[in-house]
Amino acid sequence: MSSPYHKEEQSSPERIEDLMLRDDDPESNTEEGNRAASSVRDIASRIPESLSAIGRDISRTIEKAMSAKDDYVVAVKVTPESQEKLEALVQAGVFRSRAEAAGFLIEEGIKTQSALFERVRQKLAEIERLRAELRGLIAENKV
């Protein structure tokens, strides 16, 4: 009977030797076997280089993230159509990531709508003036 506390014995796992290419195996002496062995050895020889490259990429990414003191990360929801457009910019090599593409488009949108943002700035200044006026009225009534 199997339970979280008493598990049934499972069949023995596949033997490691079954996964290895052996020189004394008659099938490995065929042309196809030699190609397979060569391919496996080629792939295996690239593993250290690939791991080293991954490590370098991670280091560069961390350094870039730490040096980006003036940048802010903002999570935004986009429509599937917008996602496709961002991905197209990345696939075309215009940007390295969707985040970089989105950041560029946000900046451009803000530049394009500068008149709107100027009006928002003016209204916020007016709101702050009114708040200060109200605080003053309340302070006068407390005395």
Q: Measure the CA angle with vertex 82, ends 117 and 112; round to 5°.
A: 25
Q: How far is CA 97 from CA 77, 100, 111, 119, in A?
A: 16, 5, 22, 33
Question: Is 90 exceeded by the pLDDT of residue 110?
Answer: yes
Question: Is 90 exceeded by the pLDDT of residue 3?
Answer: no
Label residue 84 by pLDDT band (50, 70, 90).
Answer: very high
Question: Is 90 exceeded by the pLDDT of residue 108?
Answer: yes
| Mean pLDDT within 115-123 | 97
Give the model's pLDDT for residue 98. Answer: 93
Question: Is 80 exceeded by the pLDDT of residue 14?
Answer: no
| Mean pLDDT within 4-32 | 56
Encode burial over 67-104: b for 16+ CB neighbours within 10 A, e otherwise. Answer: eeeeeeeeeeeeeeeeeeebeebeeeeebeebbebbbe
Give the domain ranges of the chain: 15-71
Question: Is 60 exceeded by the pLDDT of residue 95?
Answer: yes
Label residue 133 by pLDDT band (50, 70, 90).
Answer: very high
Q: How far is CA 37 from CA 43, 48, 111, in A?
A: 10, 18, 59
Question: Is 90 exceeded by the pLDDT of residue 21?
Answer: no
Encode burial over 113-122: b for 16+ CB neighbours within 10 A, e otherwise. Answer: eeeeeeeeee
For all residues of the chain together, what is the average pLDDT? 80
Check residues 63 and 74 and name the one with the higher pLDDT.
Answer: 74
Question: Is 90 exceeded by the pLDDT of residue 124?
Answer: yes
